[in-house]
């Protein structure tokens, strides 16, 4: 979509109906050809995140929706813009300085207008009178958070540990809104949030031995004690087992989940690594190692956690099934 970009895109395979899409990229101006380029993947999760943002005649900023999480986001944007029902435009942008507002030239956006299709394989720019605000409509807010004095920080500084706790809190509130009971790692229950110990919050499981689904499997209970977050539902379901990895090696969390997996009878659940968006490639690499293949690991990026957390705060979700989570978690095991 940038005239100065000489790169070419070749679609190799498309798994219908929702991806992934495998492509190759090359730049002939640099002497590159498709023959010596590796295939790369546009994941189903990436496609769904963008698809969920599309509304008729409403501009969408692909970079904002996908952030820095995906190095193929510009390719997906270009592929979509070449289809007949999508155009690109530059809506006005509201700039507010010292309470004074002005409309400035905006950034590039995609626009879905099925009523005015253009020729397939052509990128078409349209004019629009739409003016947008670039102030986010959903924000995740964390109230006062205090770490217990006896918490073992080791290699993590206090700010990193605090971020880990913020994500843990977001996962708890998401689970609470969806009707889940939540196990929080034994050594994190002393974290103070809103002047109360995390372990004392409604719906936080005090002892895993008391949880009907798992209490008769003593080795599994022992293996689960230090797992960051496990959701339980109705004494019969376990929607997710999650490890938060913030600026640490991914292997330790995968190892804890695999140990639990081996000690617990086969049971349908999601084994999930929760990590910063920019760590996706590292998570994919580790999760696809043979020793972790049984987990069929999912990736729950921080941006998706906070998007869902903010939605729970704002809309007070009710009546959705646990499969709703799959819109936010990406399956990353080949």
For residue 283, what are its two tokens?
């998570």
Distance CA 307, CA 53 (A): 12
Q: What is the pTM of this model?
A: 0.60
Secondary structure class of 276 (helix, strand, coil): coil
**CB atoms inside a 10 Å sphere around CB 127:** 9
For residues 59 and 316, give the distance between their C-alpha atoms in angstroms, rounded to a whole number.
Answer: 27
pLDDT per residue, tens digit, the chain (334 aa), is 555 567 888 899 998 877 889 999 888 888 888 888 888 888 887 888 888 788 888 888 888 777 655 568 888 888 999 999 999 888 877 665 554 556 677 778 899 999 999 999 899 999 877 766 554 445 566 667 776 665 554 444 545 568 888 899 999 999 999 999 999 999 999 988 878 889 999 999 999 998 999 999 999 999 999 999 999 999 999 999 999 997 667 999 999 999 999 999 999 999 999 998 888 989 999 999 999 999 999 999 998 898 898 888 877 787 788 888 998 999 998 7
Q: Domain locations in the chain?
A: 8-133, 145-331
Give kind and range of the element (H or E) at residue 240: strand 237-244
In this structure, how many other beta carbons lie within 10 angstroms of the beta carbon of residue 164?
A: 21
Indicate the pairing of strand 181-184 with strand 109-112. Answer: unpaired
For residue range 150-174, list pLDDT tens digits in order: 555 444 454 556 888 889 999 999 9
Please compute, for residue 21, the number of CA atoms within 13 A of its CA located in the half-sphere on the CB side. Answer: 19
Cα(173)–Cα(308) distance, integer angstroms: 10
For 70-108, the pLDDT digits (tens) are: 568 888 888 999 999 999 888 877 665 554 556 677 778
What does DSSP say about strands 131-133 and 92-97: parallel, antiparallel, or unpaired?
A: parallel
CB distance 232 to 181 below 8 Å: yes
């Amino acid at each position: 979509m940038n005239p100065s970009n000489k790169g070419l895109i070749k679609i190799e395979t498309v798994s219908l109906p929702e991806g992934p899409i495998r492509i190759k990229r090359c730049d002939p101006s640099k002497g590159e050809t498709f023959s010596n380029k590796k295939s790369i993947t546009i994941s189903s999760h990436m496609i769904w995140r963008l698809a969920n943002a599309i509304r008729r005649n409403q501009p969408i900023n692909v970079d904002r929706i996908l952030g820095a999480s995906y190095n193929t986001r510009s390719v997906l944007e270009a592929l979509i813009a070449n289809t007949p029902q999508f155009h690109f435009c530059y809506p006005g942008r509201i700039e507010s300085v010292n309470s004074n507002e002005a409309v400035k030239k905006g950034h590039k956006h995609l626009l879905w207008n099925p009523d005015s299709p253009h020729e397939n394989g052509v990128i078409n720019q349209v004019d629009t009178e739409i003016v947008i605000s670039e102030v986010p409509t959903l924000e995740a807010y964390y109230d006062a958070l205090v770490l217990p004095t006896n918490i073992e920080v080791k290699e993590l500084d206090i700010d990193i540990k605090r971020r880990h706790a913020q994500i843990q809190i977001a996962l708890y509130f998401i689970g609470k809104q969806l009707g889940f009971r939540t196990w929080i790692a034994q050594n994190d229950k002393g974290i103070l949030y809103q002047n109360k110990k995390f372990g004392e919050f409604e719906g936080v499981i005090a002892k895993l031995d008391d949880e009907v689904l798992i209490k008769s499997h003593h080795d599994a209970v022992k293996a689960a004690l230090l797992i960051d977050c496990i959701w339980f539902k109705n004494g019969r379901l376990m929607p997710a087992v999650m490890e938060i990895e913030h600026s640490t090696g991914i292997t330790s969390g995968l190892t804890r989940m695999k140990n639990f997996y081996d000690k617990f009878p086969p049971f349908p659940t999601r084994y999930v690594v929760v990590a910063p968006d920019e760590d996706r490639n590292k998570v994919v690499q580790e999760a696809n190692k043979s020793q972790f293949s049984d987990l069929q690991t999912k990736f729950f990026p921080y941006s998706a956690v906070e998007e869902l957390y903010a939605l729970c705060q704002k809309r007070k979700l009710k009546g959705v099934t646990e499969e709703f989570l799959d819109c936010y978690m990406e399956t990353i095991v080949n």
